[in-house]
Amino acid sequence: MEIAPPTELSQIRESVRALCAAFPGRYWRDLEPSRYPAEFVAALTRDGWLGALIPERYGGAGLSLTAASVVVEEINASGCNAGACHAQMYTMGTILRHGSEAQKERYLPPIASGELRLQAFGVTEPGAGSDTTSITTTATRTASGYVVHGQKIWTSRAEHSDLMLLLARTTPRDEVARKTEGLSTFLVDMKAARTAGTMTIRPIATMMNHATTEVFLDGVELAADALVGEEGDGFRYILDGMNAERVLIAAECVGDGRWFTQKAAAYASERVVFGRPIGANQGVQFPIAAAYAQVEAADLMRYRAAALFDQGRPCGPEAGMAKLLASEAAWAAANTCVDAHGGFGFAQEYDVERKFRETRLYKVAPVSNNLVLAYLGQHVLGMPRSY
């Protein structure tokens, strides 16, 4: 497979690395358990990185997904955490692909400049995680638009976002032929809803610093033009946006995997026990080498999925596999890194335990790896539906 990175890839890597160097482990440790990395996100915004995927005519950089994925990869490979802001890069894809020209002109330029943050994505609900079409949040038509009732959970960065892309049911499930129908996507002005008292956000304490929340929607009023695309087609739009998200998450996992293997290899070469570096023992060295191989293999699938996406070709299986393989590889690398560090793997000042907690998420979110396997089993291998 030909992977010909354009000239700017090396420059992107250099610039992102240089930016990240100003945010070392100490910065991230001091944020724990729950302070948002506002300075880091501001620096990425200032240098235009979060507008990477927005076309140039709307004020973005018009990067390919391949190049944009390098941005988040380098962030995580530098020991930073792209999870704080990756959604600002891709959530706008739904507006870009399915929004009206008026919506694009109104929202994309301020999202590109960072003036408006669209990095909250309200899909998951307490009663509907993997089974997305079972969501019960409803948007009911009113004279002037819609009114929304329901609850979302795991809505990350909601407190640090101006807009939320919301999935809600617009036609009751028993009135549509298929449960994938009757769902719609909306662009919600969160500030307005919070001011009106119809939206309440509650942070959820988690094992890593991720600014995730639950959001209560009690009569949020939306104008008719908050609807993105056609009413009832929302599930398709969400699925369609997932490929870009999965490729970016895969790239973050590859970045994590690189960080863990490099950190582990360096420590194993330095730490002397029984009179020689621990890395001179195959029991220490081989798991690190094996994790490295796993990360590199996952990286190929990530580039393949990204290339298909950039060519406008179907890439559902590849994007899913990239996310699956990369999250498993990063997790293998994380465990290897903790093992190699022995007790020091648990000490906060080494950052290993922090990255370990952070990378664990991607086996579960934005989609559980089981569901990726279920998709491959059914849709690629033609086996019976398992969910």
Partner 1 sequence: MKIAVCVKEVPDPTAEKRIDPDTKRLVRSGENTLNRYDRHAIEEAVRLREGAAPGAEIAVVLVAPASASRTVDKALAQGGDRSVHLADDGLSGSDIVATSRALAAVLARDSYDLIVFGQQGSDAECYVMASAVAERLARPCVTQVAALALDGSSLKVKRQVETGYETLEVSLPAVISVSDAINEPRYPSLPAIMGAKRKPHEVLSLADVGLAAGDVGVDGSRTHVSALSKPPTRGDSVKLEDDGTAAEKILAFLVERKVVA
Residues that bind partner 1 (CB under 8 A): 7-8, 10-12, 14-15, 18-19, 46-49, 51-52, 56, 61-63, 71
Give the count of beta carbons closer than 10 Å to the beta carbon of residue 128.
17
Least distance in angstroms from the C-beta of 333 to partner 1: 23
Q: Considering the rule CB under 6 A, would residue 366 count as an interface residue with ligand FAD?
A: yes
Please identify, using beta-carbon distances, which residue of 70 and 165 lies nearer to partner 1. 70
Q: For residue 364, give Cα distances in angstroms to 16, 333, 344, 372.
A: 27, 17, 27, 10
Q: Considering the rule CB under 6 A, would residue 370 count as an interface residue with ligand FAD?
A: yes
DSSP class of residue 125 equals B
Q: Considering the rule CB under 6 A, would residue 155 count as an interface residue with ligand FAD?
A: yes
DSSP letters for 223-269: EGGGEESSTTBHHHHHHHHHHHHHHHHHHHHHHHHHHHHHHHHHHHH
Looking at residue 309, its amino acid is F
Among 66, 103, 156, 294, binds ligand FAD (CB under 6 A): 156
Q: Considering the rule CB under 6 A, would residue 206 count as an interface residue with ligand FAD?
A: yes
Least distance in angstroms from the C-beta of 254 to ligand FAD: 20
- Binding residues with ligand FAD: total (CB under 6 A): 23
> What b-and-e string marks burial along 335-347, b requiring 16 or more CB atoms within 10 Å of the CB?
bbbbebbeeebee
DSSP class of residue 92 equals T
The span from the CA of 104 to the CA of 11, in Å, is: 29
Cα end-to-end distance, the chain, whole Å: 34
Q: Considering the rule CB under 6 A, would residue 371 count as an interface residue with ligand FAD?
A: yes
- Beta strands in the chain, from DSSP E residues, in sequence order: 118-122, 138-141, 145-156, 163-169, 183-189, 199-203, 212-223, 227-228, 272-273, 276-277
- Segment 96-125, which members bind ligand FAD (CB under 6 A)? 121-124
The span from the CA of 216 to the CA of 270, in Å, is: 51
Handedness of CA 281, 285, 287, 293 (dihedral sign): negative
* Residues in Cβ contact with 140 at an 8 Å cutoff, skipping those fewer than 6 apart: 146, 147, 148, 149, 170
Q: Which among 269-277, 304-312, 326-334, 367-375 is the span making contact with ligand FAD, rule CB under 6 A?
A: 367-375
Please identify, using beta-carbon distances, which residue of 80 and 284 lies nearer to ligand FAD. 80
Please identify, using beta-carbon distances, which residue of 137 and 285 lies nearer to ligand FAD. 137
Cβ pair 149, 138 in contact under 8 A:
yes
Please identify, using beta-carbon distances, which residue of 66 and 327 lies nearer to ligand FAD. 327
- Segment 210-229, which members bind ligand FAD (CB under 6 A)? 210, 212
Among partner 1, ligand FAD, none, partner that 156 touches (CB below 5 to 8 angstroms by kind): ligand FAD
Q: Which residue is at the shortest CB distance from ligand FAD?
A: 129
Least distance in angstroms from the C-beta of 118 to ligand FAD: 12
Please identify, using beta-carbon distances, which residue of 23 and 362 lies nearer to ligand FAD. 362
Please identify, using beta-carbon distances, which residue of 53 and 220 lies nearer to partner 1. 53
Q: Considering the rule CB under 6 A, would residue 94 count as an interface residue with ligand FAD?
A: no
Cβ pair 214, 204 in contact under 8 A:
yes
Least distance in angstroms from the C-beta of 137 to ligand FAD: 11
The span from the CA of 132 to the CA of 123, in Å, is: 7
The span from the CA of 347 to the CA of 128, in Å, is: 37
Q: Considering the rule CB under 6 A, would residue 286 count as an interface residue with ligand FAD?
A: no
Least distance in angstroms from the C-beta of 148 to partner 1: 35
Among partner 1, ligand FAD, none, partner that 47 touches (CB below 5 to 8 angstroms by kind): partner 1
Interface positions with ligand FAD (CB under 6 A)? 121-124, 129-130, 154-156, 206, 210, 212, 361, 364-368, 370-371, 374, 386-387
